[in-house]
């Protein structure tokens, strides 16, 4: 790790960001928390411009007031898996935290560090939050076999996937009547309102993901259980089974809120499709603290 000041107490910012929200934690080199936990909107550089990224970060008074004291920023986020968005976010963070060493990595790496049982454990690690992804960690390096094309074409079993399915089922009449009534009373289902949010507002993926909570509040419905399992099967077929050879020995770990609240359905699909489920982590950020402070 890089030391910025030898005499100054370190302030390390660790960030775990999806497209919907970003969790920030500030610690010293012993892992002691220095500020209250901070939450901003999601900071996906594949979707947001540099100006919008900067604006969202600076909305936090704590981050703004401590910007010159920060010595390290370790950022893990959705949309950071390719070089151009990654470099865009690095430039934004360096501009806000001028004295800091900045590292930006894809969100899958945060999921790896927070779910594996030991630093050299080989595992298949899945993210199911606003978006979804799957990688193989060989104990040292991360491997992916499919480049994500984002929420429009991919992201099976994610929040935005389920939001889209729920809206479609509502409009196509595929929901049971009692579920449809409950769904319509919880959300504004006016077609113009939906189209406005999807096509004229930023972060349509996050807008879609907001609908996914409905499933977990209505898991007494066979419709809901079947919908959850349908997404997991598609995710397993398209993403997990990229790693057919690795599946013979490696567990499959899961991170993200959708995975966390779908544990029973994931285990049922795993038994049905023949893969071994490992650990679940709702919020990876906690496990990242010890990882980034142990060598400082």
Sorted by where each starts, the structural domains of the chain and their CATH numbers stand as: 12-110+285-293 (3.30.420.40)
In this prediction, residue 19 has a pLDDT band, given cuts at 50, 70 and 90, of: confident
How would you classify residue 148: left for phi > 0, otherwise alpha for psi between -120 and 50, otherwise beta? beta
In percent, the amount of the chain with pLDDT more than 90 equals 75
119: number of CA atoms within 13 Å, CB side?
5
User: Smallest Cα–Cα separation from 70: which of 21, 9, 15?
Assistant: 9
Cα–Cα dist 211/204, whole Å: 12
pTM, two decimal places: 0.78
**What is the SS3 assignment for 101?**
strand
Exposed, middle or buried: residue 34 (CB in 10 Å: 0-12, 13-18, 19+)? middle
Q: What is the pLDDT of residues 256-280, one digit of tens each?
A: 999 999 999 999 999 999 999 999 9
Residue with the larger pLDDT of the pair 47 and 190: 190
Higher local confidence (pLDDT), 1 or 213: 213
Over range 65-77, report the average pLDDT.
95
**Rounded distance between C-alpha atoms, residue 181 and residue 161, angstroms:** 21
DSSP 33: B
* Greatest pairwise CA separation for the chain in angstroms: 66
Count of other CB atoms within 10 angstroms of residue 107: 26
Q: Is the pLDDT of residue 8 over 60?
A: no
Tokens of 247: 């599946």
- Looking only at the bridges linking them, the beta strands covering 21-27 and 38-41 are antiparallel
- Burial call 66-90: b when 16+ CB within 10 Å, e when fewer: bbeebbbbbbbbbbbbeeebbebbb
Residue 295: which pLDDT band, with cuts at 50, 70 and 90?
low
Whole-angstrom distance, CA of residue 293 vs CA of residue 173: 52
**Tens-digit pLDDT profile for residues 89-147:** 999 999 999 999 999 998 888 889 889 988 889 999 999 998 999 999 999 999 989 88
| DSSP for residue 241 | G
Candidate ranges 73-87, 106-120, 218-232; pick with highest mean pLDDT: 218-232
Q: Are 19 and 56 in contact (CB under 8 A)?
A: no
Among the residue ranges 172-176, 198-202, 272-276, 288-292, the one predicted with the least confidence is 288-292
């Amino acid at each position: 790790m890089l030391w910025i000041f030898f005499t100054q107490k370190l302030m390390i910012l660790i960030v775990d960001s999806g497209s919907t929200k970003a969790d920030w934690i500030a610690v010293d080199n012993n892992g002691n928390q220095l500020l209250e936990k901070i939450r901003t909107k999601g900071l996906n550089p594949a979707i947001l411009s540099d100006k919008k990224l900067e604006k969202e970060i600076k909305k936090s008074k704590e981050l703004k007031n401590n910007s010159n004291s920060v010595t390290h920023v370790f950022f893990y986020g959705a949309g950071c898996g390719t070089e151009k968005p990654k470099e865009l976010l690095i430039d934004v963070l360096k501009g806000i935290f001028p004295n800091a060493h900045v590292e930006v990595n894809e969100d899958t790496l945060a999921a790896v560090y927070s779910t594996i049982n030991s630093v050299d454990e080989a595992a298949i690690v899945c993210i199911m939050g606003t978006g979804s992804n799957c990688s193989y960690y060989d104990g040292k390096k991360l491997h992916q076999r499919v480049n994500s094309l984002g929420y429009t074409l991919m992201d099976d079993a994610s929040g935005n996937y389920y939001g889209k399915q729920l809206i479609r089922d509502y409009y196509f009449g595929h929901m049971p009547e009692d579920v449809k009534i409950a769904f319509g009373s919880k959300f504004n289902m006016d077609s113009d309102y939906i189209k406005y949010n999807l096509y004229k507002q930023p972060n349509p993926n996050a807008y879609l993901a907001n609908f996914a909570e409905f499933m977990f509040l209505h898991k007494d419905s066979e419709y809901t259980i079947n919908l959850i399992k349908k997404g997991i099967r598609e995710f397993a077929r398209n993403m997990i089974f990229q790693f057919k050879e690795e599946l013979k020995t490696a567990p499959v770990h899961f991170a993200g809120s959708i995975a966390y609240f779908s544990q029973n359905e994931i285990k049922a699909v795993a038994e049905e499709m023949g893969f071994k489920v490992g650990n679940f982590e709702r919020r990876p950020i906690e496990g990242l603290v010890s990882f980034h402070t142990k060598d400082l």
